[in-house]
Structure 1
Amino acid sequence: MISLKQSKNSKKTAISEEKKDMISGYVYIAPFFIIFALVGLYPALYSIFLAFQKWDGLSPKVFVGLDNFRVVLQDPLFWKSLYNTIIMGLMGTAPQLVIGIILAFLLNLSFLRFKQFFRVTIFMPYITSMVAVALIFSVLFSNHESSLANYVLGLFGIDPVNWASSEWGTKIAISFMVFWRWVGYNTIIYLAGIQSISNDLYEAATIDGANKFQQLMYITMPLLKPFILLTVFFSTVGALQLFAEPTVFLGASAFTRDEAMTVVMYLYRDAFRLQSFGTASATAIILLFIIIAAAAINVFLTSGMKLKKRGVSK
């Protein structure tokens, strides 16, 4: 009888200790969930609620059903902003993915000297203040004939471009800004992926007579596929959320210039300049579905790439 009581008491003690450990674990992770609920989940759910309301931030909310979505989808400026976002996103992000892989491969070469210096240098634009970025690119892409961009064009016999006032000049300048700021970030991710590849594969390929380009195509690229999928996903989401670069480059005129208006800028304009929080929330939901569709398409296309390992003839 005493042994049975002792075993029951020990089981109760063990259960109570497990409950204490479980409770303490939830207490430790509770701050994250509380903060996420306050600054992440609640605003998202409230935005969905506002998408079906007409509200200027002060007067009472009025339920309007799908009218906000209808207003946004019938607005030519929304489609213009979507077109601008896609064009600048493609011009700014697609090249950086390709060049990022090449730079990462070069930074991983064994004979390269001052590797740490080059790695820090190429990552610097990512952590540079947007104010500094604005100053740099306002000088590089100035409308003046003596600006660096126009000087380079002049070397090829091309007339100067009014970068900050022309349709494609603005798009190209902003795309260069996006490329310059984010190529180092993707390069570091690719570099981490390359360093996770065993050197034995490269040594075997070198013995078989493979040059550096063949090693890049038939060893590095196939094994970098998970990292490529990751960067494609984040780049797609980032490109469709383009906001800081156009507003910094154009300054006060950013929200009055149709040629540089992006979807997020359109959303911001509706909410904080026109006080139309209903249409702004509807735009946010539409943008969410566009991001999901674009990310799914990009991941599908990237995962379908035929990056197969091939033997290299001696």
Structure 2
Amino acid sequence: MSILQERTQQNKKKRSRAARWDVKYSPYIFILPFFILFALVGLFPLAYTAWVSLNEWSLLGGQGDFAGLDNFTSVLNERDFWIALRNTLSIFVIQVVPQLIIATVIAAALDRNLRNATFWRMAVLLPYVMMPVAVALIFSNMFGDRYGLVNNVLGTFGLSPVAWHNDVLASHVAIATMVNFRWTGYAALILLAGMQAIPRDYYEAATIDGAGAFRQFFSITLPQLKPTAIFVVITATIGGLQIFDEALLYDLAGTGGPDKEWLTLTLYLYNLGWRDLDFGRASAVAWLLFLIIVVIGLLNLFISSRISSSQGKRK
């Protein structure tokens, strides 16, 4: 074999090896910038917060003595933490359930053959792009105890005014209404994308079989929409348990109410960190909130997967 042939074979082997490496490793190289950015802005703050939660740490004095789990114990023994947890879960339930129902109805309406469909889809998203501060200020005045628009409307029907800033359930309904105003359109567009991914052949076959619009919606749309609905539920869970702007701006004081009627976990965390200047206990609350979100998110995923599997077995 000549030297030229040997070099040609060696070059072929190198190119073949480089091609195998390219197929095997280039996808990881392409997604590497995301993981680097995620490590910098996601994992590092999370790990650093865990370290802060294990120490006595103040805004003015900086890091103090190692405290172990004392910050967690102190937080769990405080009444305000359990009130904030109750309020957060209550607002979350009041907000998420109507949001998913209304978003599904809006998505189903937008999935029809409407004139100017792009305009209506953009209009649904307008509340989402509004500043949370503006939404909170507008709705806090609408739900005013004396001169609020809602109480004025109730008065025209002969109903008694509601103490929106002094009653626990009423304040939760008001804050949940603010959140739903901003996020329902966003959830509706995600559900709409899932609906449009459903093959149209299913609806044509159902129409030939004589199924009406409602029967098609419950027999075709909702079952096929489950993966998208699970995603919306999980994202709504993460966002619903981190309510902050609406609770902070619901009154002028920003402390969660005179008797902590709408104090949420994030607002409680904010008060510990920036009012009491106790970063150690604030970081402990942040980690407790993170664990609560993970547990509820996994519970939602488990329930959704069980429902999907049970319906699949019946088929």
| TM score, norm. by length of structure 1 | 0.87
Deviation at 1:198, TM superposition (A): 1.6
Residues 162-177 of structure 1 correspond to what in structure 2 (within 5 A)? 162-177=163-178
The Cα of 1:226 is off from its aligned counterpart by 0.2
* 1:79 matches 2:76: no
**What does residue range 136-147 of structure 1 map to in structure 2 within 5 Å?**
136-145=138-147, 147=148
User: In the alignment, what sits opposite 1:205?
Assistant: 206
Q: Secondary structure at the match of 1:259?
A: coil
Q: Secondary structure at the match of 1:65?
A: coil
Which of 52, 70, 77 lines up with 1:67 in the alignment?
70
Deviation, 1:27, is 7.5
In structure 2, do the counterparts of structure 1 residues 137 and 208 end up closer, same or farther at CA, with 3 Å as the change threshold? same
Shift of 1:273: 1.6
Q: 1:268 — aligned with what?
A: 270
Tell me if the contact between 2:256 and 2:264 (Cα under 8 Å) persists in the aligned partners.
no
- The more displaced of 51-60 and 76-85 is 51-60
- Counterpart Cα distance in 1 of 2:204 and 2:27: 47
Q: Are the counterparts in 2 of residues 142 and 164 from structure 1 also a CA contact under 8 Å?
A: yes
User: Does 2:122 correspond to 1:120?
Assistant: yes
Please tell me whether residue 252 in structure 1 is matched to residue 253 in structure 2: yes
What's the secondary structure of 1:109's corresponding residue?
coil
1:295: Cα distance to partner?
0.9
Aligned-residue RMSD, C-alpha: 2.7
Q: Bigger CA drift: 116-125 or 54-63?
A: 54-63
Structure 1 CA distance for aligned equivalents of residues 125 and 28 of structure 2: 37
Give how far 1:176 is off. 0.5
Q: How far apart are the structure 2 equivalents of 1:154 and 1:279?
A: 45
When residues 209 and 308 of structure 1 are mapped into structure 2, their CA distance, relative to the original with a 3 A threshold, is: farther
Q: Deviations over 1:202-254 (max 9, x none)?
A: 12222222222111111100000001110111111111111121112224333
- 1:151 counterpart letter in structure 2: N
1:312 equivalent in structure 2: none
Q: Distance in 2 between matches of 1:284 and 1:186?
A: 26
Instruction: State whether residues 53 and 282 of structure 2, in contact with CA within 8 Å, keep that contact through their aligned partners in structure 1.
Output: yes
CA contact (8 A) 2:95 2:177 kept: yes
**Partner-residue secondary structure (3-state), 1:158:** coil
Give the CA deviation at 1:47.
0.9
Is 1:191 the counterpart of 2:157 in the alignment? no
Measured in 2, the distance between the counterparts of 1:281 and 1:177 equals: 27
Unaligned runs of 5+ in 1: 310-314
| Long gaps (5+) in structure 2 | none
1:1-314 mapped onto 2 (5 Å cutoff): 1-2=2-3, 3-12=5-14, 31-57=33-59, 58-110=61-113, 112-145=114-147, 147-255=148-256, 257=258, 258-305=260-307, 308=311
- 1:5-32 deviation per Cα after TM superposition (whole angstroms, max 9, x unaligned): 4423554466578889999988876654
- Check whether the contact 1:56–1:276 (CA below 8 A) recurs between aligned residues: yes
| Cα deviation, residue 4, structure 1 | 2.4
Counterpart residue type for residue 301 of structure 2: V
**What is the alpha-carbon distance in structure 1 between the residues aligned to residue 112 and residue 132 of structure 2?**
32
Distance, in Å, in 2 between the alignment partners of 1:23 and 1:293 is 34
Query: Are residues 221 and 23 of structure 1, via their aligned partners in 2, closer, same or farther at CA, if it must alter by over 3 Å?
Result: closer
Greater displacement, 150-159 / 77-86? 150-159
Measured in 1, the distance between the counterparts of 2:65 and 2:20 equals: 51
| Residues paired across the two proteins, number | 307
Q: CA deviation at 1:127?
A: 0.8
| TM-score normalised by L of structure 2 | 0.87
Cα distance change of structure 1 residues 261 and 286 upon mapping to structure 2, 3 Å threshold: same
Identical aligned residues as a percent: 40
What SS does structure 1 have at the residue aligned with 2:145?
coil
1:161-208 Cα deviation digits (max 9, x unpaired): 232343333211101001111110110011111111122211222222
Q: Give the whole-Å Cα distance in 2 for the aligned partners of 1:51 and 1:256.
A: 27
